[in-house]
Amino acid sequence: MGSNEYRHATDRFLQATTFSSLSPHLLAGFTTRNGGVSKGPFHSLNLGFHVGDDPCSVVENRTRVAEDIGLPLDRWIGSEQVHGARIVYVTREDAGRGATSLDTALLGTDGLYTSDEGLVLTSLYADCTPLSFYAPTHGFIGLAHAGWKGTVAKIGPTMVHTWKKEHDIPTENVFVLVGPCISADHYEVDERVMQEVRKVCPEADTMPFEETRPGHYSLNLSLLNKQLLIRAGVKEDHIYMSSYCTFKEHQFFSHRGDQGRSGRMMSVIALRSKGELDT
């Protein structure tokens, strides 16, 4: 899946058109850094409360995105991301958590999933890999935040294994979107990271890393997540890959590109109800 298979629904929101086309009820996409009110290093559509931005600006930015996608903030669910692999099943009772304040977010959680219509699952990024999940046969959606720590902790495989174990969803019925993240050309890691990568790295014709200089490697997080998902049982042709690089393209925030002080984009996924489709 290339970048051209996203479309600008608005200046703020990129809709994943191929992935979303799996169902008329499915909405999946990723925000840009454009069209918000934040100032300074968070200019302009920062959606993260935890980076030091004015919370009122973050709420206004989120309100604008909510209007773009047609699903209000009281339907959103967000978490306190900690680069782990904890996944939580959420329901309508969780609606609004983390939407207008980090204080109400689900603590210590990097993966969310639901089968309830009308909920917007959200996750925040500035180079890490967003994973979106959909099981059309059972009406389940999910999001997982996969930086290098979450990736080597196998948060992607954990999602599909949880669906199979807890909800009897066959892994071969799961579709996954690997969203915009930093590309291997701009993501150099050291030997400490590589020691963890090698522990989980599948045997493959194409390795997801390459040595750049002694003790340092370019790491392809998108490819590594894809390989781990295939090993977990997801069909290769059910995995959609974005070619966007958050470091190279100025429409995105980049933790590395912005020297560590940056805003956050948001990955969103929702199953809209029939009534919402008709409005």
Q: CATH number of the domain that 133 lies in?
A: 3.60.140.10
92/157 Cα distance (integer angstroms)? 25
Q: What is the pLDDT of residues 10-20, one digit of tens each?
A: 999 999 999 99
Domains: count for the chain: 1
Residue 18 counted as domain residue: yes
Contact between 31 and 12 under an 8 Å Cβ cutoff? The reply is yes
Confidence of residue 5 (pLDDT cuts 50, 70, 90): confident
Residue 279, pLDDT > 80, answer no
Contact between 5 and 18 under an 8 Å Cβ cutoff? The reply is yes
- Report the chain's mean pLDDT, rounded to a whole number: 95
Q: What is the pLDDT of residues 202-240, one digit of tens each?
A: 888 899 999 999 999 999 999 999 999 999 999 999 999
Question: For strand 265-271 and strand 120-125, is the pairing parallel, antiparallel, or unpaired?
Answer: antiparallel
Please state the φ and ψ torsions of residue 64, each to the nearest 5 degrees: -65, -40
Strand partners, 14: 8, 30
Confidence of residue 36 (pLDDT cuts 50, 70, 90): very high
Residue 21 counted as domain residue: yes
Residue 243, pLDDT > 50, answer yes
228/52 Cα distance (integer angstroms)? 34
Range of the domain at 131: 3-184+239-273
Residue 60 counted as domain residue: yes
270/267 Cα distance (integer angstroms)? 11
Residue 102, pLDDT > 70, answer yes
Residue 101 counted as domain residue: yes
Residue 125 counted as domain residue: yes
Residue 123, pLDDT > 80, answer yes
Q: What is the pLDDT of residue 205?
A: 81
Residue range 86-97: mean pLDDT, rounded = 98
Residue 227 counted as domain residue: no
Which among 109, 147, 148, 140 has a CA at the least distance from the CA of 125? 147
SS3 145: strand
187/176 Cα distance (integer angstroms)? 23
Contact between 208 and 227 under an 8 Å Cβ cutoff? The reply is yes
Q: What is the pLDDT of residue 277?
A: 64
Residue 75 counted as domain residue: yes
Contact between 224 and 187 under an 8 Å Cβ cutoff? The reply is no
Residue 218 counted as domain residue: no
